[in-house]
Structure 1
Amino acid sequence: MSEEFNQEKTPEQGKKVKKEKNTLAMLMSGVAGGVIVALFTGGIFINMMNDEQATTAEDSQQKEQAEQTTTEEVLPTANLTNQSSNSIGSAVEKVSDAVVGVSNIQQISLWEESDAAGTGSGVIYKKDDEYAYVATNNHVVEGAQELEVILTNGEHVEANVLGTDALTDLAVLRIPNDQVETVAELGSSDKLTVGDTAIAIGNPLGQDFAGSVTQGIISGLDRAVDIDLNNDSQPDWTTNVIQTDAAINPGNSGGALINTNGKVIGINSMKIAQSQVEGIGFAIPIDDAKPVIDQLETGNEVVRPFIGISAIDLSTVPQRHIQETLQLDESVEQGVVIAQVEPKSPAEEAGLKQYDVVTKVNDKNIESMLDLKKYLYNETEVGEEVTISFYREGNLQTATLALSNQNTK
């Protein structure tokens, strides 16, 4: 699923599960280091030497023709370059005033006054008769006691959080609209192709470099990035993101990734934080972000189906426990082992118990908790009945349960 706050601020800690099997975790950061990309175009230089003793009229005519041809070939190229620069400049001008700073204000200690714990970016995407609405990253606003939006005119405006969602790393803020003149136009990310121009706008390293613009291309689409919310080295979610080589630095998170028409195609979110890696940044596709933003704007959390279990992947269970405690034979290789069933949850009502090994939901094979969450969140709805296939003491059984709302469990 960054940095200013993913690395600027440690997420909420969860209990770490002891593992008897090593797990490889990918450390992601949204704000570590920038990339300077230089493009060099080479020219062909031809040295022509004249014979000082004998130069014919035919030679002179050929030279003039060559110079005319060279001029005709170079001028269109220069015009194309100017057109490209003008296109990018126009796109940036169209949306830049809608990309704002977001200051996360916290009291660091009892003896100190509240101060900005970090600064990210945001995008004004909507305005009504009273308010303007800002989309940003969840990690930008996480833990804030107060929030300020810094407009491009330098004004600091108090902001209210309408809703946040950790899994998609999105948040929506609201500010008074009296000083807001520009609203970003949301485009579409579904029709992007690798190689398209991508332009990132944000506030790298804080307000000193507010409104910075970096240009690159769409490097990849539908990239899967694992998100570990509780720092237990196990993915809690896998998010699909746009990969770009446009420089994304500390403070860029929550800013806009736009196309050459000045339309927002993504919300900048993170970057791989490894010293040997350059030019790999990620943005949340705007078509994925829109439905989440719509829900958050209403002041509600994102509704997701809920079963009511905590579980671990069967692949992490020592072999002796698979045989002795779970009583599984070698034919059962994948699934999740229920560690706890929440009281009054759909799982409890369906009769699921600790040590049950869930292997299927409906016809979907479940190999991990990530599989289970992805299937529930993407393929089912609250109130829907699903069939759970599970092993108990080595025997295959099924149970039917009605999914509830995760946020009203």
Structure 2
Amino acid sequence: MNEGRQGCASGLVVVAAAVALAVFLLRPLLDHGTEDVQAAPQPTVTQTKPGKPSGRRPGVVNIDTEQGFRMIRAAGTGIVLDASGLVLTNNHVIQGATSIKGTDTDNHRTYTARVIGYDKSGDIALIKLATSTRLKTAVIGDSTKVSEGDLVTAVGNAGGKGGNPTVVTGAVTALEQEITASDSTDGSSERLTGLIETNAPIQPGDSGGPLLNTSGQVIGMNTAASSGFRMNHTGGHRGYAITSARAIEVVRQIQRGQTTATIHIGPTAMLGVQVRTPTTKSGGRANGAYIASTLSGTPAETAGLRPGTTIIALDDQPVDSPGTLTDLLLRHRPGDTVRLTLTTPTGNQTVTPLTLADGPPQ
């Protein structure tokens, strides 16, 4: 990805920025052509409700991020929930971001944004555009009334090109779908459930954008796969959307300040290591989070953590994988002191106290 604007970069990189490791689930930008509206493949199911594709509706934001620890840019889409600038998007759109900007596609103004909270396992995030007022909002529909065969419209920042959103149409091909979003870098994966499947040609950059019914109401939030972050599901390539009911449920929890095992609210703690799954001498997988490198100026470097060391516990809680380390760190805040249990390359165990810093979202 050598484009000037590098969006949704492929692969999930565990960078222990943002909570001791920053897991970047981003999509590569693709050339989407010059058309704003594309014809969708013919539905393969019988249409159950009359109507026409809704076309573009208000309340769409183009999101651009910078990932300072990786020196790349990324792009995605968001949905305006209220006039003051609360925006719903996919977590992978803002994951690892050290800077976030949102451009409202109705007034064409660009705002800086901050993360309010996110659900990493559900790929849902809530951000706030600063100093924004009187924005046009999307209309949230009832996703429980969606049926197979319904005509739908997907709107988004396809290819990360910015400007007016791209609009594509299609039909709902299945409901209550489950997919495994897997990373080819470290073998980690997330299971996304209850999804709407559609044949609308959703592309990288559309992630976080609205899936609309024929009345122009948001019934889902689109998500897209990439070369490094793959969504595996039987039946060939399809587009998938998180239901509006599930997304709004998480948004309400975040607004109430309701932290859970999967929902993180507020600043994210950072350790400052790049980690991967350790291997045995025979080449098999081992338990722990193997430190591949440390980031300059971070708590990990200050504490003297070295590449080749494996983290096996945090505050006496076992760490059996990089994903477990992420989950444990998401329970903490910047400024917290934690105890890391480490195995050195020679096999010795040591315990190191470390104070977590402020990092990008996970």
Per the normalisation by structure 2, the TM-score is: 0.57
Q: How does 1:307-326 map to 2 (within 5 A)?
A: none
Q: Secondary structure at the match of 1:185?
A: coil
CA RMSD of aligned residues (A): 4.2
Q: Which residue of 1 aligns with 2:269?
A: none
Is 1:240 aligned to residue 194 of structure 2? yes
Q: How does 1:337-376 map to 2 (within 5 A)?
A: none
Q: Which residue of 2 aligns with 1:97?
A: 58
Hey, what's the Cα distance between the residues in 1 that align with 2:245 and 2:9? 23
CA contact (8 A) 2:7 2:205 kept: yes
Per the normalisation by structure 1, the TM-score is: 0.51
Hey, what's the Cα distance between the residues in 2 that align with 1:163 and 1:184? 20
Hey, what's the Cα distance between the residues in 1 that align with 2:129 and 2:188? 37
- How far 1:117 sits from its partner (Å)? 0.3
Q: For 1:283, give the aligned amino acid.
A: A
- How far 1:301 sits from its partner (Å)? 4.1
Q: Which residue of 2 aligns with 1:138?
A: 91
Hey, what's the Cα distance between the residues in 1 that align with 2:151 and 2:210? 14
Hey, what's the Cα distance between the residues in 1 that align with 2:92 and 2:237? 22
Structure number with the higher strand fraction is 2
Is 1:281 aligned to residue 239 of structure 2? yes
- How far 1:139 sits from its partner (Å)? 0.9
Cα 1:149–1:300 change in 2 (3 A) is farther
Is 1:251 aligned to residue 214 of structure 2? no
Q: Give unmatched runs, 5+ long, in structure 1.
A: 15-26, 41-82, 306-317, 319-339, 348-353, 355-368, 374-409
How many positions carry a matched residue from both structures?
A: 249
Larger radius of gyration: 1
Structure number with the higher helix fraction is 1
Hey, what's the Cα distance between the residues in 1 that align with 2:259 and 2:168? 33
Hey, what's the Cα distance between the residues in 2 that align with 1:225 and 1:241? 8
Deviation string 1:234-257 (CA, Å, 9 cap, x unpaired) is 544343311111111121000000
Q: How does 1:290-301 map to 2 (within 5 A)?
A: 290-298=248-256, 301=259
Cα 1:278–1:160 change in 2 (3 A) is same
Q: Which residue of 2 aligns with 1:117?
A: 73
CA contact (8 A) 2:219 2:243 kept: yes
Deviation string 1:146-202 (CA, Å, 9 cap, x unpaired) is 111101132111111101221011110112464443111211222211111111011
Q: Which residue of 1 aligns with 2:13?
A: 11
Q: Percent identity?
A: 25
Cα 1:294–1:33 change in 2 (3 A) is farther
Deviation string 1:252-287 (CA, Å, 9 cap, x unpaired) is 00000010111111111124769xx97511111111
- How far 1:144 sits from its partner (Å)? 1.1
Is 1:202 aligned to residue 119 of structure 2? no
Hey, what's the Cα distance between the residues in 1 that align with 2:102 and 2:226? 27
Greater relative contact order, per chain length (Cα 8 Å cut-off, separation 6+): 2
- How far 1:298 sits from its partner (Å)? 4.3
Deviates more, 1:287-296 or 1:211-220: 287-296
CA contact (8 A) 2:85 2:135 kept: no
